[in-house]
Amino acid sequence: MPTKSKSGTRFRLNSISLTEQDYKQIADSHKPKTNIFWNCLKAFLVGGFICFIGQCIQQLFMTFAGMSAKEASSPTVAVLIIISVILTSLGVYDKIAQWAGAGSAVPVTGFANSMCSSAIESKAEGLVLGVGANMFKLAGSVIVFGVVAAFIVGLVHVIFGLGGVH
Amino acid sequence: MLIGSQTWEFRSKPTIIGAATVVGPEEGDGPLSSTFDHIYDNLEIDEKTWEKAERKLLQHASSLALVHAGISKEQLQFFVCGDLMNQIISATFAARDVGAPYLGVFGACSTSMESLALAAMIVDAGGAKYAMAGTASHNCTVEKQFRYPTEYGSQKPPTAQYTITGSGCAVVASAGSGPRVTHATIGRIQDMGVKDPFNMGAAMAPAAADTIVAHFRDTGRKPEDYDLIVTGDLASVGHAIVKDILSKDGLSIDKTEFNDCGLMIFDRDRQNFVLAGGSGCGCSAVVTYGHILKKMKKGELNRVLVIATGALLSPLSYQQGESIPCIAHAVALEREASSS
């Protein structure tokens, strides 16, 4: 029975008495090891592959639609988002993500997935209180911190007059 | 009546006269598929929302359990039920159809044995001739409420568990034929400071160990008095921890078969998406009311102890940095013919 004492919670059975630290040690010894190197490599490969697809799409816009690299970037992002939304709707994106980790979460496709999955999930609660209210449930914090970070960078830029594109 | 500090001995040995299990497609694809009464081939359970799907599982299992027990809705006197949703909506909405006087319970994934213990208590105390215990869980309702949207692409660690889609109900009666409910050990809340909701096995293990030790202390029984001892949904990590703690404590749990419903329901090599194993209140319910009861009826198991474990967290509590309080309830089942 856990009893609060000065040394913290203790777990007592017939003959053993464990502190939270003792228990953590036992619990950690049974935790399967995650291969960080392999996970990083998978994330790198998948993330890189998504960027490669993006590059191909951009090249297509430049070659066949006569756009400049800058002009082609917006439709490229739109196409990647559509692909991500389709894969999310088909129930495939989350399976890729279990394998890829950050590789599929960090690119713009991960952002699209977070919005799309939230929208699908809350459809049952209606358009306004469901989809509308919950679509940014996960993506919202990305936008908030993105804007805050941009503001701080902007301040640094103004105060120190550091370089950058005008 | 109470024996020891926290165990009820049911002198009249209430009988499980009928039980039913319905599951989703992944559970139906697992090694125990032949023991379930109905397997839905789609995760939507032919419904439009996940919540309705979970409710339908429970409605289906409860009506099937009454059929298997050979009693009508009107004969059923109490329905003890719970699930994992906020305000246990699946249980209450299903109880609307069952129609019997209803007691809603919440013990997270321990609800299966909590409800069975209470139903047996009601019957043993002469409070009813027929009482039904039931519970259900659905993978997607749980993902939606406790974690992320179901289609959200996040990588889960290998300690994470897969909530099973399924429902199990059992009708407990004062007379009739079937496996008997002989004891129930009600657990105490245990919290060893584990905060990781993706490692529920480690959070729940102390609760399971405490209840197991209490059960043997209160009843004077030994592990070898049981043919099978199963924990509810500790899965690979939690189950290994309990084994370790119990052997350190000097309990010879290895003298009998000691398993976990979350490990039995899936083939983790083939169904690797389940990671550490199955979880959810449906998990111990469908394994107990399907696999275990059927084996008892066949005479392959005489005495079984089921310890259902529950992690009593809410999405709010872990976001606020709280650790996970856990509980475990044990119920002892005995085959009709065997002597005590």
Of B167, B168, B170, B166, the closest CA to residue B71 belongs to B170
Residue A68, pLDDT > 90, answer: yes
Across the range A107-126, mean pLDDT stands at 95
Size of interface A-B (CB pairs under 8 A): 127
Beta-carbon contacts of residue A154 (< 8 Å; ≥ 6 apart): none
Structure token pair of residue A58 = 């951009």
pLDDT, residue B340, reads 43
Burial of B134 (0-12, 13-18, 19+ CB in 10 A): buried
Burial of B91 (0-12, 13-18, 19+ CB in 10 A): buried
C-alpha gyration radius of chain B = 18
Task: Spell B161-187 as b/e; 16+ CB within 10 A means b.
Answer: bbbbbbbbbbbbbbebebbbbbbbbbb
B192 lies within 8 A of chain A by CB? yes
User: How does the average pLDDT of chain A come out, rounded?
Assistant: 91
Total residue length of chain A: 166
B43 lies within 8 A of chain A by CB? no
pLDDT per position as a tens digit, B29-45: 999 999 999 999 999 99
Please give the single-letter amino acid code of residue A155: L
- Name the packing angle between helices A69-89 and A108-121 (round to 10°): 40
Of B77, B26, B27, B83, the closest CA to residue B55 belongs to B83
Asked if B294 contacts B333 with a C-beta cutoff of 8 angstroms, the reply is no
Q: Enumerate the H helices of B220-314 as residue ranges.
A: 235-248, 261-264, 281-286, 293-298
CB contact under 8 A, B151 and A94: yes
CB contact under 8 A, B190 and A113: no
Q: Which residues of A fall within a CB distance of 8 Å from B148?
A: 117, 138
d(CA B151, CA B294): 36
Which residue on chain B is closest to A121 by alpha carbon?
B149
Across the range A99-108, mean pLDDT stands at 94
Across the range A81-106, mean pLDDT stands at 95
**In chain A, what are the helix, strand and coil shares in percent, each to the nearest 5?**
70, 5, 25
Confidence check on the interface: ipTM exceeds 0.95, yes or no: no
CB contact under 8 A, B250 and A15: yes
Q: Which residues of A fall within a CB distance of 8 Å from B205?
A: 27
pLDDT, residue A164, reads 58
Q: How far is A98 from chain B (nearest CA, A)?
A: 4
A142 lies within 8 A of chain B by CB? no
Dihedral angle at the C-alpha atoms of B269, B275, B279, B282, nearest 10 degrees? -50
B153 lies within 8 A of chain A by CB? yes
d(CA B307, CA A87): 40
What's the angle, vertex CA B230, arms to CA B180 and CA B267, rounded to 5? 125
Q: Which residues of B fall within a CB distance of 8 Å from A130?
A: none
d(CA B161, CA B310): 13
pLDDT, residue A5, reads 47
Beta-carbon contacts of residue B330 (< 8 Å; ≥ 6 apart): B113, B183, B184, B185, B187, B211, B212, B215, B305, B306, B307, B308
Instruction: Write the CA distances from B110 to B4, B171, B225, integer angstroms.
Output: 21, 18, 23
Please give the single-letter amino acid code of residue A50: I
In percent, the amount of chain A with pLDDT more than 70 equals 92
Asked if B228 contacts B199 with a C-beta cutoff of 8 angstroms, the reply is no
Q: What is the pTM of this model?
A: 0.93
CB contact under 8 A, B155 and A26: no
pLDDT, residue B244, reads 96
A13 lies within 8 A of chain B by CB? yes
Q: Which residues of B fall within a CB distance of 8 Å from A89?
A: 151
Please give the single-letter amino acid code of residue B202: A
A2 lies within 8 A of chain B by CB? yes
A20 lies within 8 A of chain B by CB? yes
Across the range A121-150, mean pLDDT stands at 94
Residues 295-314 (B) with a CB less than 8 A from some CB of A: none
CB contact under 8 A, A27 and B241: yes
A104 lies within 8 A of chain B by CB? yes
Asked if A11 contacts A18 with a C-beta cutoff of 8 angstroms, the reply is yes
Mutation target vs B (from A4, A121, A135; most B CBs, 10 A cutoff): A121
Which residue on chain A is closest to B209 by alpha carbon?
A13
A114 lies within 8 A of chain B by CB? yes
CB contact under 8 A, B249 and A14: yes
Q: Which residues of B fall within a CB distance of 8 Å from A34?
A: 157-158
Q: Which residues of B fall within a CB distance of 8 Å from A30?
A: 202, 237, 240-241, 244
Beta bridge partners of A116: none
pLDDT per position as a tens digit, B126-182: 999 999 999 999 999 999 999 999 999 999 999 999 999 999 999 999 999 999 999
Q: Which residues of B fall within a CB distance of 8 Å from A120?
A: 149-151
In DSSP notation, B114-172 reads HHHHHHHHHHHTTS-SEEEEEEEE-HHHHHHHHSS-TT---PPPTT--EE--EEEEEEE
d(CA B192, CA B213): 17
Report which secondary-structure segment, H or E, holds B2.
strand B2-3
Residue segments in chain B with a per-residue pLDDT below the cut of 70: 337-340
Asked if B54 contacts B44 with a C-beta cutoff of 8 angstroms, the reply is no
A92 lies within 8 A of chain B by CB? no
Of B293, B285, B294, the closest CA to residue B136 belongs to B285
CB contact under 8 A, A30 and B202: yes
pLDDT, residue A163, reads 61
CB contact under 8 A, A93 and B151: yes
pLDDT, residue A161, reads 80
Q: Is residue A8 left, alpha or beta, with left meaning phi > 0 and alpha meaning psi from -120 to 50?
A: left
Q: How far is B159 from chain A (nearest CA, A)?
A: 7
Total residue length of chain B: 340
